[in-house]
Amino acid sequence: MIRFPRLGQSDSTTPWAIALAAIRISGLHHRYEPGAAPVLEGVDLELGDGEAHAVLGGSGAGKTTLLHLLAGLLRPSAGSIEFDGREVTGVSPAERHVAQVFQFPVLYPALDVAGNLGFPLVNRGWSAAAVRRRVGEVAERLSIAALLVRKPKTLSLFEKQLVAIGRALVRPDVALVLLDEPLTAVEPAAKWRLRQALKAVQGELGLTMIYVTHDQTEALTFAGRITLLHHGKVLQTGSPQALYERPAHEAVARFIGSPGMNLVDGEVSAGSIHLDGQPLGPTLAADGRCTLGFRPEWAEVGNQGTPVTVRSTRALGTLGGAATGLVTAELGGKVIHVQQALNGLVGDQAHLHIDPARVLIYRDGWLLAHAAS
């Protein structure tokens, strides 16, 4: 059960006691008007108390709609949302104790940073002394204490977003923090710093946070688990490693990685997997056409394997004195990428060797098995 301090009082035992929420989303559907195309279709998701979770997906995936449903700004067309076992689908935003941080920080220009941070507490009847104490604690944790007397117009976008995050954390009754693309507008050089600050605060306080982004780097480096949303449907939820090494759907395979996973036409026949007529290795998968997936570092272009045409190479660095980089080649009319040592690559005709133990088999878009299983 979520227990909140009485309004107008800070927690008497520990000033940083936070109301945590385990989240359960069941069969969530949403369309903005009857007859319109669905924005979310059958979303199921569970988050534990204090979990740092990322929702990753491209434009139009339904990420922001999901956040608005969690915040209570929208009511779903079907399905339910529970906080710690309590049904909140029809509960007002104020009663959900949810804080949001948006792409573009919205601060009160007439108030200084201290006033902006303390506004939610003043609005709830906290005493001036309690507000100052709480604001000071938040500012120290986010390393913005030196900014408290400044007005928003004098702050950088990075500093403004830190203040917006602080305002989301200042209430001790916050059960869930929703971050909607919080780094999109921040200068590239400051993104890493802001992400580290967020991660540190989340880990130290154990806050339940949902971080929505289209940027896989942000998701992979912030969250313990990631949900990939694609055209309103959850394709996979798991650790960053699981999404990278065993993407459950071809769309996940393409989205995760830079470059994404190579996906080429293949076939299973008589217990063996074949690529362009060449046997790769044994498999227990049923016979038939399939798609084979492999990461750039799971293969090598050289003198043995399936014939390919090398289109270009790009050096990325050196390893043991040898140049390493990305080889772009063509196989069966499809472009593939291989990350390897570049020494010894001569001419455009070469062969592709894939580690047979790492190959993934897909049918109808979904992961079937490793080639070896």
Let me know whether 221 and 287 are in one domain: no
223 plus 317 within the same structural domain = no
In a domain? residue 80: yes
Q: Looking at the structure, do residues 246 and 263 belong to the same domain, yes or no?
A: no
Angle at 216 between CA 211 and CA 219, to 5 degrees: 30
For 170, the token pair is 């200042």
How many other CB atoms are there within 10 angstroms of residue 101's CB atom?
Answer: 22
Whether residue 280 is contained in a domain is answered as: yes
Q: Tell me the two tokens of residue 296.
A: 């750039």
- With beta carbons less than 8 A apart as the criterion, state whether 317 and 271 touch: no
Strand partners, 99: 177
How does pLDDT run across 10-61, given as a tens digit for each residue? 443 334 445 568 999 999 999 999 889 999 999 999 999 999 999 999 999 9
Q: Domain containing 67: what range? A: 23-250
Tell me, what's the pLDDT at 71? Answer: 94
Same domain (yes/no): 230, 294: no
The span from the CA of 47 to the CA of 32, in Å, is: 26
pLDDT per position as a tens digit, 157-206: 889 999 999 999 898 888 899 999 988 878 887 888 888 888 888 888 78
Q: How many domains does the chain have?
A: 2
Q: Could you tell me if 226 and 326 lie in one domain? A: no
Among the candidates 195, 222, 250, a domain finishes at: 250
Does one domain contain both 66 and 189? Answer: yes
Q: Is 17 within a domain?
A: no
Q: Are residues 276 and 175 in the same domain?
A: no
Model pTM? Answer: 0.88
Which pLDDT belongs to residue 321? 76
pLDDT at 319: 78
Q: Verify that 49 and 126 share a domain, yes or no.
A: yes
**In sequence order, which residues have a C-beta less than 8 Å from that of residue 177 and are 6 or more positions away?**
98, 99, 100, 101, 168, 169, 207, 208, 209, 210
> In this structure, are 152 and 171 located in the same domain?
yes
Q: Check whether residue 283 and residue 201 sit in a common domain.
A: no
Token pair in block for residue 17: 């006691």
Pairing outcome for strands 78-83 and 23-30 = antiparallel
250, 268, 291 - which closes a domain: 250
Looking at residue 94, what is its pLDDT? 84
Q: Which residues of the chain have pLDDT under 50?
A: 1-17
